[in-house]
Amino acid sequence: MVRVCPTSQSDAAESSSFLKVDPRKKQITIMDPSTNQTPSAASQKRAGANHIPPKMFTFDAAFPPDASQAEVCAGTVAEVIQSVVNGADGCIFCFGHSKLGKSYTMIGRDDSLQTLGIIPCAISWLFKLINERKEKTGARFSVRVSAVEVWGKEENLKDLLSEVATGSLQDGQSPGVYLCEDPICGMQLQNQSELRAPTPEKAAWFLDAAIAARHSSQWSNTTEEEHRNSHMLFTLHIYQYRMEKTSKGGMSGGRSRLHLLDLGSCDVKALGGGGGKSRENSSPSSAPLCLSLSALGNVILALVNGSKHIPYK
């Protein structure tokens, strides 16, 4: 899916000369701006000689600059939530360079209901669907929340809910969150706090607490680079149980997870095409450490195909 971020009025005229979004056809067309101006016949002839045909890309959804948060949430969340309540794991994240609106899309602003992002929307929809399922099937559900930040060049891990869980600052003595290779499930985060959220309000409260505990929110002198290298992994763990109707009775059920990621910016020097200012200005030492979109695609493909080797870096 692709969301085109809004631009200033002066830039909007420029971008409409080379970019067209068709939400109905779920297509983005990129045109050569020189062929879209109204040139004189002579220059038209000249341009015709070097005419670059428009390039069209089709997505699962295409959201134009004026798409509302509600439209983006409806287009992204509904299907994933259904799968998660049906027992599969799901993940939603935004990828793009700096100041594109990734955090706005994932978290949004809490000044009005219209500006809430995907994570608060997913919390609300998840509980709504769970309540429907409870009524329909009699299944029992329990929702837990965890939140971890990956920050800095060293990719430090921080349990964003440990303070809420223990009521005190992490003492530095406890092992904290760490990564561990599981022979069956692959690389897993271990030891993060997983807190019970019986209501959507409680889950939303944990989200607020996690955002406030982020390294990038806590220190007023956080540099632009530190902000770029801060990623939040907010996970809703859904446990469900059902009484078996067989004569033997017993319980069946399991756990599924919905991972909602607010990634920092993903400017990579080597990434070709359409660069933002930050990419042009960044020195090799300040270049963020994240993968390019195509490298991330390879990681996802390897995970989906169950490959033994996952090309993390």
Ligand X SMILES: Nc1ncnc2c1ncn2[C@@H]1O[C@H](COP(=O)(O)OP(=O)(O)OP(=O)(O)O)[C@@H](O)[C@H]1O
The span from the CA of 242 to the CA of 140, in Å, is: 6
264 binds ligand X (CB under 6 A): yes
275 binds ligand X (CB under 6 A): no
> Could you give the string, one character per residue 141-160, with x where binding to ligand X holds by CB under 6 A and - elsewhere?
--------------------
The span from the CA of 104 to the CA of 67, in Å, is: 13
The span from the CA of 234 to the CA of 197, in Å, is: 13
Task: Choose, by CB under 6 A, the member of 90, 92, 103, 258 that binds ligand X.
Answer: 103
CB of 94 to ligand X, least distance (A): 7
Say whether 294 counts as a known binding-site residue.
no
Size of the site for ligand X (CB under 6 A): 13
The span from the CA of 143 to the CA of 147, in Å, is: 14
102 binds ligand X (CB under 6 A): yes
CB of 151 to ligand X, least distance (A): 12
Task: Choose, by CB under 6 A, the member of 101, 152, 176, 276 that binds ligand X.
Answer: 101
235 binds ligand X (CB under 6 A): no
Stretch that binds ligand X, among 81-89, 93-101, 123-131, 189-197 (CB under 6 A): 93-101
CB of 227 to ligand X, least distance (A): 6
List phi, psi (to 5°) of 266: -120, 50
Inter-residue contact 264 to 285 (CB < 8 Å): no
Residue number with CB closer to ligand X (181 or 280): 280
30 binds ligand X (CB under 6 A): no
279 binds ligand X (CB under 6 A): no
271 binds ligand X (CB under 6 A): no
Residue number with CB closer to ligand X (90 or 288): 288
162 binds ligand X (CB under 6 A): no
6 binds ligand X (CB under 6 A): yes
CB of 224 to ligand X, least distance (A): 8
Residue number with CB closer to ligand X (200 or 264): 264
Q: Tell me which residues touch ligand X (CB under 6 A).
A: 5-6, 98-104, 227-228, 264-265
The binding site for ATP comprises 96-103
